[in-house]
Amino acid sequence: MAKTSCGRILGALLLAALVVACGFRAQAEAPSAPKPAQIDRNGVLILIRSSLLALDQANKTGNYTVLRDIGAPGFQSNSAARLGEIFAKLRNDSLDLSGVAVIDPQLNLLPQIEANGLMRMAGFFPSVPTQVNFDLSFAPVNGQWRLFGISVGVGSSAPAAPDPPSPPIAQRPPPNNAKQAASAKPAPAIKLAPPENKPTGNQQPK
């Protein structure tokens, strides 16, 4: 009887240890939630404007080499010719993005670090009668944030809740009919806070 009782106790302890171990493993494998990115207002504006102005120049010249070269290695897996195909509709529609140089963007997704380590932000540049919507993601490369994914389109200037944005181009093939819009109707915008007395430029999360 003593041996039987000891065996049962030992078996129960082993089962409990296995359950605890499995619990820790499941917790470790669970994806982490996005967290706010440690980057200042000027750094955000530089990243957004430089990315969209590079796309604007590429669309106007038909040469996507510079746009490709400013990207992270994952973005550069798209050849310049491939980028030309992806953005053919925007180029054919003669979408002018030069206004992003003087208009402040409004964000409906503040910069956040996602589980894969990319920094993502989304929003729009208000204008009449249409507005420019964007969804951008950046990868850390040698101490700088470099373009990893970009989705750009135009939509109504009337405020309304958006549909879920399309994934960035570096992460999936382009949608049917070369549609590049992230969302035709933006969510209520969050204006960028005024700059603080901090160094400007890109910062990687610690």
Nearest C-alpha neighbor of 104 from the set 130, 132, 67: 132
Our CA angle for 6, 12, 14, nearest 5°, is 100
> Given this model, what pLDDT does residue 75 score?
96
The reported pLDDT for the residue numbered 127 is 81
Per DSSP, the chain holds a count of helices (H) and strands (E) of: 5, 5
Cβ contact 139:148 at 8 Å:
yes
What are the structure tokens assigned to 174, written together?
A: 């382009």
What is the chain's mean pLDDT, rounded?
75
Give 19's pLDDT tier (boundaries 50, 70, 90): very low
Mean pLDDT, range 91-103, rounded to an integer: 91
The pLDDT-based confidence of 47 (bands split at 50, 70, 90) is: very high
pLDDT one-digit tens code per residue, 177-195: 433 433 334 444 545 555 5
User: What is the pLDDT, as a whole number, of residue 166?
Assistant: 46
Which tens digit of pLDDT belongs to each residue from 54-86? 999 999 999 999 999 999 999 999 999 999 999
Going by CATH, does the domain composed of 35-178 fall within 3.90.226.10?
Answer: no
Mean per-residue pLDDT, 84-95: 92
Q: What is the pLDDT of residue 154?
A: 87
Scan for tokens 């430029």, then name that residue: 201
- pLDDT at res. 198: 46
Q: Is 31 exposed, middle or buried (0-12, 13-18, 19+ CB in 10 A)?
A: exposed
Give the closest residue to 206 by CA, choosing from 45, 46, 72, 37: 37
Kindly report whether the peptide bond that precedes residue 129 is cis, defined as omega within 30 degrees of 0: yes
Residues 6+ apart with CB under 8 A from 185: 155, 156, 158, 159, 160, 161, 162, 163
